[in-house]
Structure formats: structure tokens, C-alpha cells
Structure 1
Amino acid sequence: MGGQFTMSVSKISALMQGLEFFGLTSEELFQTEAIDLSSVSSPDHRLTAGQVNTIMEGLGRITGIEEIGLLLGERLSRGFSSIVGYILMNCANLGTAAVKYCEYETVVDGTGRMKLHEEGEQVELRSTVLDAALRNNRIYIDLKLAGTYTYINMLTGRRIPLCEVRFTCDMPRSAAEYERVFQCPVRFQSDNDALVLRREDLSIPLIGPNPALLEPFEKIARDARSGLRLQDHSPYTAQVLRLLLDHMRGGSPSIEAIAEQLAVSVRSLQNYLRKEGTSYLELLRAARQRMAEDYLHGTGISIDEIAYLLGFSEASAFYRAFRNWTGVTPTEFRRRRRSTEILAEQALDITF
């Protein structure tokens, strides 16, 4: 796929999370649009801009909903399962996360470019579409801007007010859904596609970052951006994280078990991780936090069961750890995320 604009499967999968609400699964969509399922079997695989365009056109044709991209972006419920997602969740504040996403966006999405522009007391997250076909695809552009806004709210744990949203696309039949989703003035036929925020909101802290993990994660992203694939020869940080996320069910894999799967000694693994600026315990904490947030937001299982699944001996230990990670209890985290989701569902029920 050299020389082509591509999007990672991890990003397209994240953007498709809300499909079931509209009576469709991503597998059904891919099969209908003749997308080879083997090409979307791994989060490290990439789809060409042409394939992405086919998927977006299929979304509109199958659902018959003009604003399907907007509504799917609104229903984003978790971040990208990629190194870029780990970088963003460990940034100190929204401004740093915005800068880092613009810097590493190509790792997950090479079909467009997001740039941060400062305009007095406002800042713009301005998106430029690179592929000619996608440039005219309303669903793709709607999904990208609405998904970005939803992700901003997920990272901060609050709804960030927008000053304005701009689209290059023509005016839709009705702008009501756009105004409901973004809750600000929405302009069409503009010179660019952009989310406009208050400059002061860039200082809003994110939920539970771990600054110590930022540099090793960025090292992996820099390698990936340079064309290195995060597979068998990826840095050890990425491999350990992948194994922890795959095997943490009812207990935490020991460093001995992880080292055995990587065919290295425990001491060698510790040395490799130290050279990459992290440790097994730091990665275990990051994996537990990511899985805890996914369980709390994406499932209805009890907090006691989540504690067991993440390897905690008792729920109280999980409560203390989660509060240290995020600054809120698991119950409060679930309540905040769920309240936002309920508001979106109520609005969609009224519309459809």
C-alpha cells in the first residue's frame, strides 16, 4: 500500500462501534461492500482510502440516514486500540493531547490531516482530507469531526463547549441534528472542516494520565510513523501491552509468563523495558486502567466482577487503584459516561 492514503483497522473499528444501534454490524457492512474480512482481522492492518470511501458510501446506502456519519461519531464509546490511543490518554491536558494527535495521526489515519490553529482567544482543530474521493464524502467528514468531538469529551470526562463547527460540505436537508450533537453554531460550505474551541479549554486536565508512560509510547509511535510495523519486531513496550490486554482475565499475567511468551529471560525483559523508559508494573497499570474503563463504559457487569477480571483480590483494592488512576471512583466514572450516552440515545430516539 506504499504511496496510498490509508486508515488503520483500529480506527475504522472504533468509528463503527455504534452500528448495532442502527441494526447493522461491521461484519455485515464489510461483506455487503465486498471488503475482505481478512483485511480487517487485525488492528494493525490498514485499509486504502478507496476501501474507506466504499465503506462510507455503503453506510449511507444501507441505513438510508443522511446524518449516519454524524450519529456514529456521536456514539463513539471508546478510544482507538492503538499506540496513539495510549499516548492521548496519558497526556496531562487537552491541549497536549491535541498536539500529540496532530503529530501522530498518520499512525492511525493517513487519509486526512488534523492541525491546530490558534486564532486569538479561540483555537481550531482543522481537518484536511487528502484523498480526492473522500474529500466529497459527507459521511466520512461528519464521522471524523463528530468522532473527534466525542473523543475529546471522553478524554476529559466532561462535555467541552464548542464555539463553532465548520463543514466544507453543502447544507444538508436539515441542520437540526448537527446543532444538537455539537450544541453550537454550525456552518456549511465553509473554507475548511473544523472544530472551534476556546483557547482556555486546552488547559483542561485529562482523566488519570500517567506522564511517565508518554515518552516510551511516543517512541513506538515515532517508529510506526517511520514505517516500522508493530508486529513481531516491535519495541517490547508494545508487545508486553498487547499480551497483557490479551491475557488479563481473572488474574494479572506474571512477568515470568510474559517473558516466556516473548522467549526472553525476565532480566532481559526488564532491561529492554527500562531502556524504553518504562517497566512491567507501569505497563500492567496502564493495561488495567484501559480495560477497567472499557468494562465500566462498554458493559453492564458489576464492579466486583470487573475487579476480579483485572486480578484484584477484592473490590476495595480496585476502588482505591481506580481513584488513584483517574481521580474518581469506578461508580462515578460509569455514571458520568452513562449519563452522556443516555442523553444521546434519548435524542436519537426522538429523531428516529
Structure 2
Amino acid sequence: MLISRLPGTYVNLLIETIEEWGISSEEVLAETHITFEDLQKKYWYVDSDVFIQLLEKSVRLTGNAAFPILMANKMKVSHYGNVGIAAMSSKNLEQALRVLEEFIGLYCSVFKLRLEIEGEKAFLYLTHMLGESESTNKFIAFLVASFANIISKLIKTESDIFFLKQKQLFIDNNFAYKFEQVTDTVCFDRELLNIHLETADEIVFKLAKKQCIRDTDKHIKSRQTKSIIRSQIIELIKISLIQKNIGQLNLSEVAKQLNMSSRTLQRYLEIEDTTFKALIAEVKKQYAEAMLIKNELSIQEISESLAYADVSHFSRAFKNWTGVTPKAFRK
């Protein structure tokens, strides 16, 4: 989720595509640490920077600027392992996209999917935390086009995808592909969400989704992931405090900033036996103690900076944290 990784199947797909130009995997993978054994694994991961470099190299070797889109046309939802199985066995397109929205972070930590319905249109937003560059734009074009292709294959609807310059909108039949810097979108008619999937299987869906939940729990239980998530939550709360909008900070906004679903973040908090409210209180306590020791702000000013409506509310909260009032602590 927070470690910069992508599914290794992206590399397998890249190799499969570039071999059509007679270019060997050895030439493409030269100067990387990816081995032939890696390519044979069922599930493996590649650093996002490495994959973006491989995509850029592939465009250069083939001399075809449309390579990311041609590669995206080969993408299948099954490339996402158990998440893909759960999506394929969903009853309709909306359920499939909700599965991808919730669990895609298991395989891809650098972007997040969000399905929204606005009027008669549905939008699958792809948000990412990558900077803007020509190489990154190629990668994002690949992602947006690949999810458009996945949608087409799930509902058995043909839709051609053409290579576009970034920030250009292309509409073909019921689909639109919009490329932007931070939020990229696949747009299609809302009614397509209700289409029954030919691959729907309720039993398989339940089993696959349970496995996705187990995989998520296993991932966020790892010591490294827990440490990263906790430190980033704390950092976001501190930033919100500095920007004086801690009163408006909520779990949904933090999940968005961490590039994960609210459910996944909530699951992490449950595993850690804590709450979002408790973490906010932890940061507020540390800040209040530091400010009281520094003795530059009045208790009233500290209370206001922590978004308390009344200084008495702050005093009560501080006493719950420390066992003494702010006034007694300052003495």
C-alpha cells in the first residue's frame, strides 16, 4: 500500500508485448535486477520506478509512442490475482469495480481507484502520488487505458482506444478517456454498471473476496507496513494541526492522502486496537505539552489552535490525557 510497488505481471505483459517487435526480454531487462525466475513466479512485485523506466525504454526500443496503449489493450483483470478473481466473479460491473476500488492497493501502492456516479455517467478516477514527467505520463496513460480495457472485457463491449497526448479527452462509443496530471478518468454510461457479467459466480466471489480481506490483513499486520502507516497518519495529523484545519480532518480524507480505501485504513486501526480519534488525541497531547512547556502561547490560544470550542473543553481533555490541568502542568 505505502511501499512503491506494482504487480510483476505488468513486467510480464510488457515482455509479451515488446517481443512482437522481435526484441528479447534480455535486452529489455538489462541493467535491472529482474531475473528470469522472477518472470516465472505466480505473484511478484516490481518497484514502480523500475517499471516506469522499462516502459520508457520499451517506447524507445520499439520507436512506437503508442506502446503503453498497445500494452494496455492486452491487460486482463486476472493480472491482479485474487482481486482479479473477485472482480471477474462479481454479479455486475459495479460490484467488480467496487472490488478493485477496495483492494487494488494490495498489488499497486502508487495509485488508487475511485468509482463515482454523476448523473447519467460513471467515472472511474485514478489518483496517484507521482510527479509529472514524460515517463510518468506514459505510465498513467497505460493505467487509464488498461482499466478502460478491463471494463470492456468484463462486460463484453468493444471499444477502441487510441494513443492520446496527456490532458486530452477522447470519446469513442460509450467510453471517454481523460488524461490529467493527478486525477485521470475513465468515463462511461452509468447504465453499464448494471450489466450482468458472464463470469459471475456467487460462490467464487465470496471465497475470493474473503481471501482479499485475509491478504489485506496479512499485509497491514507486517511490522514494516504497520510502522509506515502509523507514522504517515501521525504526520498527516501534524500537518493538519499546523495548517489549523485539524477540526475538519477525518478518516476518509486521511485514507485518500495515504492512497488507500477508508475500509483498509479502518481495518488497520482495528488490527492496531486503536481509533482515528485516539491518534488525533495523541498528537494533540504532544502538541499541547510542547506548547505549555514553551510558554509562548496562552492556554486559551493553545485551546483554539487545537480546534476546541471552549477552553474548558481543552482543560478537560488535557486532564484526561495527563491527570493534571493545563495550568497545573505549566507550573
Name the TM tier (shorter chain): 0.5 to 0.7
Aligned to 1:36: 34
Aligned to 2:275: none
Q: What one-letter code is carried by the residue in structure 1 that aligns with 2:185?
A: A
TM-aligned CA distance change 1:222 to 1:168, over 3 Å: farther
Matched, 1:214 2:205: yes
Encode CA deviations 1:220-260: one digit per residue, 9 max, x unaligned: 1112223449xxxxxxxxxxxxxxxxxxxxxxxxxxxxxxx
Matched, 1:129 2:120: no
Q: CA deviation at 1:50?
A: 1.6
Q: How does 1:47-126 map to 2 (within 5 A)?
A: 47-76=46-75, 79-80=78-79, 82-126=81-125
Q: How does 1:250-329 map to 2 (within 5 A)?
A: none
Q: What is the TM-score of this pair, normalised by structure 1?
A: 0.54
Rounded to whole Å, the distance in 1 between the matches of 2:17 and 2:163 is: 24
Q: Is the 8 A contact 1:116 1:125 kept in 2?
A: yes
Aligned to 1:195: 186
Q: CA deviation at 1:179?
A: 6.3
Encode CA deviations 1:324-343: one digit per residue, 9 max, x unaligned: xxxxxxxxxxxxxxxxxxxx
Rounded to whole Å, the distance in 2 between the matches of 1:27 and 1:5 is: 24
TM-aligned CA distance change 1:190 to 1:184, over 3 Å: farther
Q: Is the 8 A contact 2:174 2:189 kept in 1?
A: no
Aligned to 1:246: none
Aligned to 1:156: 155
Encode CA deviations 1:38-67: one digit per residue, 9 max, x unaligned: 444423221112212221221222112212
SS at match of 1:125: strand
Q: Is the 8 A contact 1:127 1:193 kept in 2?
A: yes
TM-aligned CA distance change 1:160 to 1:5, over 3 Å: same
Aligned to 2:323: none
Q: CA deviation at 1:113?
A: 0.7
Rounded to whole Å, the distance in 1 between the matches of 2:134 and 2:56 is: 13
Q: Is the 8 A contact 2:52 2:135 kept in 1?
A: no
TM-aligned CA distance change 1:219 to 1:25, over 3 Å: farther
TM-aligned CA distance change 1:225 to 1:22, over 3 Å: farther
Encode CA deviations 1:127-165: one digit per residue, 9 max, x unaligned: 112233779612211211111122222222222699xx9
TM-aligned CA distance change 1:107 to 1:139, over 3 Å: same
Aligned to 1:169: 166
Q: CA deviation at 1:167?
A: 8.2
Q: Is the 8 A contact 1:113 1:129 kept in 2?
A: yes
Rounded to whole Å, the distance in 1 between the matches of 2:64 and 2:196 is: 36
Q: What one-letter code is carried by the residue in structure 2 that aligns with 1:49?
A: S
SS at match of 2:79: coil
Aligned residues: 219
Q: CA deviation at 1:170?
A: 5.0
Q: What one-letter code is carried by the residue in structure 1 that aligns with 2:157?
A: R
TM-aligned CA distance change 1:183 to 1:219, over 3 Å: closer
Q: For structure 1, which runs of at least 5 residues remain unmatched after alignment?
A: 230-352
Rounded to whole Å, the distance in 1 between the matches of 2:133 and 2:96 is: 26
Determine which structure has more spread, i.e. the larger CA radius of gyration.
2
Rounded to whole Å, the distance in 1 between the matches of 2:33 and 2:8 is: 12
Q: CA deviation at 1:97?
A: 0.4
SS at match of 1:124: strand
Note the aligned Cα RMSD (angstroms).
Answer: 3.4
Q: Is the 8 A contact 2:115 2:123 kept in 1?
A: yes
Q: What one-letter code is carried by the residue in structure 2 that aligns with 1:158?
A: T
Q: CA deviation at 1:126?
A: 0.6
Rounded to whole Å, the distance in 1 between the matches of 2:29 and 2:131 is: 22
SS at match of 1:202: helix
Q: Is the 8 A contact 2:90 2:200 kept in 1?
A: yes
Q: What one-letter code is carried by the residue in structure 1 that aligns with 2:144?
A: L
Rounded to whole Å, the distance in 1 between the matches of 2:86 and 2:158 is: 21
Q: Is the 8 A contact 1:84 1:221 kept in 2?
A: yes
Q: What one-letter code is carried by the residue in structure 2 that aligns with 1:92?
A: K
